[in-house]
Amino acid sequence: MSHVVRKYFADFEKEEQWLNDMSAKGLALVEYSWARYVFEESAPGEYIYRLELLEEDPKKAKSAEYLQFMEETGAERVPAGKRPSGKTVYVNPRWVIFRKKAAEGAFTIYSDTDSKIKHYQRIYRLWISLAVMELIIGVFNISLMFVNNPTALNRINLIMGLLLIVLALFFISLSMPIRRKITKLQNDKLVRE
């Protein structure tokens, strides 16, 4: 029997923790798409879950090669679902959820400080680039106010612009804890590998 949970996470490590807590309770994630989690009953703790932001779109050669390597090590990618034809589909371009049977041993993706920093930096750049994009479009929308005559359209530009700026602030708020994690790891690196 499958259970569907709708939930949103801003912090991927909390999301990962939640998936592992669910797994410990005997609910293993089998599908994920846009804040919709589908679980199936399993032996408690059967799977370990890990999240990763890939360097590139999974369809690109570099990521495809990496995904194959992950498979060789016993990890599988959690899909978005299955088409009626039976074809497995994936959403969410660069964020990937992996799972691996706990019986096959520990499952970590990044085990040393350097590679952890690189992964966090990837995430940090994603949030910052989204923030900058929203900010530019937002400011552009508001600036239209001064070009156009005061009309109803004008007000829409202002509202859109403000919404986009709020969205930009949201992405900045996501990036800040990541920045702190990077700084902490970089400080650790001064002392040990």
Residue 9 or 66 having the CB closest to other proteins: 66
- Residue 106 as a binder of other proteins (CB under 8 A): the answer is yes
Choosing from 1, 34, 86, 111, the residue that interacts with other proteins (CB under 8 A) is: 111
- Residue 173 as a binder of other proteins (CB under 8 A): the answer is no
Choosing from 118, 125, 155, 180, the residue that interacts with other proteins (CB under 8 A) is: 118
Part in contact with other proteins (CB under 8 A); list of ranges 3-11, 28-36, 38-46, 66-74: 66-74
- Residue 102 as a binder of other proteins (CB under 8 A): the answer is no
**What's the min distance (Å) between Cβ of 33 and other proteins?**
23
Residue 69 or 140 having the CB closest to other proteins: 69
Choosing from 2, 17, 88, 108, the residue that interacts with other proteins (CB under 8 A) is: 108
Q: What is the 3-state secondary structure (H, E, C) of the chain?
A: CEEEEECCCCCHHHHHHHHHHHHHCCEEEEEEECCEEEEEECCCCCEEEEEEECCCCCCCHHHHHHHHHHHHCCCEECCCEECCCCCEECCCCCEEEEEEEHHHCCCCCCCCHHHHHHHHHHHHHHHHHHHHHHHHHHHHHHHHHHHCCCCHHHHHHHHHHHHHHHHHHHHHHHHHHHHHHHHHHHHHHCCCC
Binding site for other proteins (CB under 8 A): 52, 66, 68-70, 72-75, 105-106, 108-112, 114-115, 118-119, 193
